[in-house]
Amino acid sequence: MDYVKMIHSIIDDIVDNKDGVLIREIPEENGKDKTILVACDKEDVSRLIGRHGSTAKAIREVINIAAKLDETHVHLKFESFEEDEEEA
């Protein structure tokens, strides 16, 4: 299953800068787990996380329902590009 494409289809209507969204799958040792990093502008990350994490929780639930067909668990991480620039 193409989780990156699925996540794009969910979040593209939520974010303002669709071209500024980077979604990458991070390799895991365990074949049953997948970690997917979603990075975008700080404002868009705020929208994706939502108030008290409600939007992020809903996105995670939808992805994990689909992942059950593959007997997989998907971990989603949301980060902004600005965090890396501030640390440098």
pLDDT of residue 88: 41
Check which CATH number belongs to the domain holding 57 and give it. 3.30.300.20
pLDDT of residue 83: 54
- Ordered per-residue pLDDT tens for the chain, 88 residues: 899 999 999 999 999 999 999 999 988 887 789 999 999 999 999 999 999 999 999 999 999 999 999 899 999 999 998 754 444 4
Which structural domain, as residue segments, surrounds residue 42? Answer: 3-87
State pTM to two decimals. Answer: 0.84
Those residues whose C-beta lies under 8 Å from the C-beta of residue 59, and which sit 6 or more positions away, are 7, 10, 11, 48, 76
pLDDT of residue 87: 44
Calpha distance 41→52 (Å, rounded): 19
Joined together, the tokens standing for residue 85 give 């620039």
Count of domains observed in the chain: 1
